[in-house]
Structure 1
Amino acid sequence: MSSVIKNKEEKKKDVTANGIKGYLKDGVPVKVQVERGLYFRVSKEGTGFWILRYKSKVDGKRKEYTLGRYGTRKDELSLSKAKDAAATMRAEINNGIDPVIERNRPKKAQFKTVHDIAQKWLKICERDLKNPQIPARVYKNEIAPIIGKLAVSSVEPTDILAIVEKINDSGRPSISNDALAYCKQIFDRAIKEGAIKFNPAGALSIKDAGGAEKSRSRKLSISEIETILKIMRENAHTFTRENYIAFCLLIILGVRKGELIAAKWKEFDFDNRVWHLPAERTKTEAEIFIPIPELLLPFFDELKIRANGSEYVFPSRRASKRRGYISDDTLNHALANLFGNSGYLKKSKKELPNLLGDAGIKHFVVHDLRRTCRTLLGMNKVPPHIAEKCLNHKLKGVEGIYDHYDYFEERKEALETLAEQIVKLS
């Protein structure tokens, strides 16, 4: 080995394993050619490395790429393994892949399970959605139990089908459609993150889930409301007083459920009987000043006592780190429970009486109360544009573009009349 010229490149047509060991034993920095483009280099520290020289097809420059350290351990390359690695790398270079450029690419995040990628998706939902708790709830209750622990690359269309069919079997077609949509979003995220190449939920449509959803038209008549309120009062042990008041307020004020249950006391000016609903809490992202009928003041006085110092009008009934007001499902479940087994969202194993159904009340849900408010306003001869403003709907067409008057006094009169009709039933 003493005859070898050190500190410069040496060209050898055939470098043996024993020859490599000799270079290392000598301990002098050297770079020796093994075969086309493949070099063995000894560093100043006496460590052996395999180097591949090549001409990039990306930018035409000549470059060097370290294939790995010489050795026989699992993370090292022997002479034969170095030749194999060089052959593989040359094939990639011929296909237009530049290993130096690839080495400097941003590292891909490692997502092993569906739950891993779902957490990234849920964070994006929190950033972009007004109500991120909705997809979070559907994922937690419907998607995660079936595929959450599966490797993200192993999920197949049949797994997604199992999710939506299970929800359909429980009688919740709209939730089935939501779950399918969320699955598509989760696996679209996985594609963007480089975890998979194809979306397993992409093969399914709403025909495989809950089917096309029909627009609801259910609304309550005054006589139905009277019957419903009577049954709610008679079953106050299950349908609480807070739920009862919320039910009345939703019909009279025409606000969305989420706007009401998240209301804070600071939003209310009871001296002037105005509820200031801030823009960030409205679906239309426009603030609205809602007239409070005088007949509703006793309801709010009662809620203030029941709130027991909480900043929320409808404070959470159990300790929660997530938020201080009642769950989105509280009213839904309480109402559904009055329809017994035919209305309860989570099928009960025990027989539940259909209190509302037995009284002749056709099934309805909380969201139908807003439609009920709009219908009753129309029956009271409230002009359409004022009725729409009562529901904080944007006026359509040219009228919506040029008419920025909020009709506060007109809305106040309309809601006062409606309050008279409903409060006397309570």
Structure 2
Amino acid sequence: MNDAQLKALIKKGKPVNKSIGRGLYFRISEEGTPFWVLRYTFNKKRKQYTIGRYGNKADEITLADAPDKAAEVRKLIKDGKDPVLERKRPKKAKFKTVDDIAQKWLRICERDLKHPHIPARVYKKEIFPRIGQLAVSDVEPTDILAIVESINDSGRPTISNDALAYCKQIFDRAVVESAIKYNPAAAISIKHAGGKEKARTRKLSFDEVEIVFKVLSENSDQFTRENYIALLLLLCLGVRKGELISAKWQAVDLEKKTWLLMPDGTKTEAEIIIPLPDKLIALFEELKVRSLGSDYLFPNRRASQRRKYISDDTLNHALAKLFGKKVGSKNKPFPNVLGKAGIEYFVVHDLRRTCRSLLSSLGIPPHIAERCLNHKIKGVEGIYDRHDYFEERKEALEKLAVEVMCRVN
């Protein structure tokens, strides 16, 4: 058969089923459409597969190319794959680099996580610089190991564990998308990264609180007034750092002395009205002036940043500097002024534990102290006791604020 003969058959306009050889057929349908078909046997059943339309256009198959196309289909059959079923399978997404698949993973984080900026930050700072531009299939376990060991060597074991977990999730997604056959991070465990994390127990006494805020005040060139107020509010109200730094003025009523913490701003996803002690109102009024008309209590200090309130790392880094910790790859560490003042190292989150401990030391009943921290009451009691203890919490927080403020002023 040659092209002239095939075109002659097409011109006649009649149905044709002409064998070319080795199961390859040239067909013309009832409607006059010419195309190539391969007949084959799979699992002892006779089948046929439409290879494509005959012609010279880009999406058509010529007589010269038809045997090669048929050979490709026969190879699939030889490999145990039914071409008809293979055609029905979803097409694989094309991911060239790790960043390609990571961006899809980050979009899923945006959809499913309450705080997607956390994995996004770790990926951008710790993972992308090392493997982001590598081909997905080229990444090996040693590449992942190098990432977590480097972070761990910098004294950040928790971030090392987080980075490992995110790498596992990214490459799990790559496996699901058929971009790779196995996850290169699968064999690496937290013992290779930051190790098993121990629950922190650090809490400050009233005497330590007095010393800490005296040192912070004396080093206002390094520790800003806004940061100073933020730490005081975290200590006296027992709220989470994320809840405070993302708070908006519309939720704060200085006349009623309340702060409405909405479900989307809390870890427990439960709305709660926080009573603001009289001793703290002046701090809120000062923040109002310092926020310069912003919607947020702690507006972002750099206009180039994507979000409108301060970074999650702002308070952490500011406090770490006064402990002589190196913050950032280019910055030199400051003197350990807090350590020299006799203060054992602590982090911002330890202030929440400190609040709870100081409430107990003031004789506040456990269930009231727990509600001050917006903790859910556990067990059967939690199911039936829906009272928010506002007045009791107000009295407890007022008592704590009086004790703290008389020591830091």
What is the TM-score with the length of structure 1 in the denominator?
0.88
Output the CA distance in 1 between the equivalents of 2:126 and 2:135.
17
1:114 to 98, 105, 110: 98
SS of the aligned residue for 1:158 comes to helix
Moved more, 253-262 or 69-78: 69-78
Corresponding residue for 2:391? 409
Q: Which runs of 4+ in 1 moved over 4 A?
A: 24-27, 41-49, 55-58, 67-79
Asked if the contact 1:386/1:410 (under 8 Å) is kept, the reply is yes
1:356 to 319, 335, 338: 338
1:365 to 347, 357, 363: 347
Asked if the contact 2:49/2:83 (under 8 Å) is kept, the reply is no
TM-aligned CA deviation for residue 335 of structure 1: 0.5
Over the aligned positions, Cα root-mean-square deviation in angstroms equals 2.7
Output the CA distance in 1 between the equivalents of 2:334 and 2:70.
72
TM-aligned CA deviation for residue 92 of structure 1: 3.0
Q: 1:349 to 1:308 in 2, by over 3 A?
A: closer
Unaligned runs of 5+ in 2: none
- Are 1:86 and 2:31 counterparts? no
Corresponding residue for 1:279? 263
TM-aligned CA deviation for residue 311 of structure 1: 0.8
2:169 to 180, 185, 188: 185
Output the CA distance in 2 between the equivalents of 1:43 and 1:403.
76
1:310 to 272, 290, 294: 294
Asked if the contact 1:72/1:78 (under 8 Å) is kept, the reply is no
Q: 1:348 to 1:149 in 2, by over 3 A?
A: closer
1:51 to 24, 34, 37: 37
2:5 to 23, 33, 39: 23
TM-aligned CA deviation for residue 189 of structure 1: 0.8
2:26 to 27, 37, 40: 40
1:263 to 234, 247, 259: 247
Asked if the contact 2:52/2:61 (under 8 Å) is kept, the reply is no
Output the CA distance in 2 between the equivalents of 1:358 and 1:389.
36
SS of the aligned residue for 1:258 comes to helix
Asked if the contact 2:327/2:333 (under 8 Å) is kept, the reply is no
Output the CA distance in 2 between the equivalents of 1:62 and 1:159.
47
Output the CA distance in 2 between the equivalents of 1:75 and 1:172.
58
TM-aligned CA deviation for residue 425 of structure 1: 2.2
Output the CA distance in 2 between the equivalents of 1:231 and 1:69.
84
Corresponding residue for 1:388? 370
SS of the aligned residue for 1:139 comes to helix
TM-aligned CA deviation for residue 203 of structure 1: 1.0
* Structure (1 or 2) with the larger CA radius of gyration: 1
Asked if the contact 1:23/1:42 (under 8 Å) is kept, the reply is no
* Structure 1 residues 221-270: Cα deviation after superposition (integer angstroms, max 9, x where no partner): 11111111111111111111110000000000000000000001111122
Q: 1:271 to 1:216 in 2, by over 3 A?
A: same
Asked if the contact 2:35/2:50 (under 8 Å) is kept, the reply is no
Corresponding residue for 2:206? 222
1:376 to 358, 362, 374: 358
SS of the aligned residue for 1:65 comes to strand
* Structure 1 residues 304-345: Cα deviation after superposition (integer angstroms, max 9, x where no partner): 0001111111111111462211111110111111112xx234
Output the CA distance in 1 between the equivalents of 2:310 and 2:333.
27
Q: 1:268 to 1:351 in 2, by over 3 A?
A: closer
Output the CA distance in 2 between the equivalents of 1:348 and 1:83.
63
Asked if the contact 1:252/1:419 (under 8 Å) is kept, the reply is yes
SS of the aligned residue for 1:51 comes to strand
Output the CA distance in 1 between the equivalents of 2:314 and 2:331.
20
SS of the aligned residue for 2:134 comes to coil
Asked if the contact 2:24/2:37 (under 8 Å) is kept, the reply is yes
| Paired residue type of 1:219 | K
Output the CA distance in 2 between the equivalents of 1:148 and 1:169.
21
Report the number of matched residues.
Answer: 404
Moved more, 318-327 or 115-124: 318-327
* Structure 1 residues 18-38: Cα deviation after superposition (integer angstroms, max 9, x where no partner): x32442564735542122321
Asked if the contact 2:10/2:34 (under 8 Å) is kept, the reply is no
SS of the aligned residue for 2:196 comes to coil
SS of the aligned residue for 2:169 comes to helix
2:195 to 178, 194, 211: 211
Corresponding residue for 2:178? 194
* Structure 1 residues 140-192: Cα deviation after superposition (integer angstroms, max 9, x where no partner): 00000000000011111011011011111111111000000000000011111
Output the CA distance in 2 between the equivalents of 1:101 and 1:112.
26
* Structure 1 residues 287-317: Cα deviation after superposition (integer angstroms, max 9, x where no partner): 1111100110000000000011111111111
Q: 1:370 to 1:307 in 2, by over 3 A?
A: same
Corresponding residue for 1:66? 51
SS of the aligned residue for 2:310 comes to coil
Asked if the contact 1:24/1:42 (under 8 Å) is kept, the reply is no
Asked if the contact 1:332/1:366 (under 8 Å) is kept, the reply is yes
What is the TM-score with the length of structure 2 in the denominator?
0.91
Asked if the contact 1:50/1:70 (under 8 Å) is kept, the reply is no
Output the CA distance in 1 between the equivalents of 2:317 and 2:360.
29
Corresponding residue for 1:242? 226
Output the CA distance in 2 between the equivalents of 1:73 and 1:325.
54
Corresponding residue for 2:143? 159
Output the CA distance in 1 between the equivalents of 2:116 and 2:331.
31
TM-aligned CA deviation for residue 404 of structure 1: 0.9
Output the CA distance in 2 between the equivalents of 1:188 and 1:270.
49
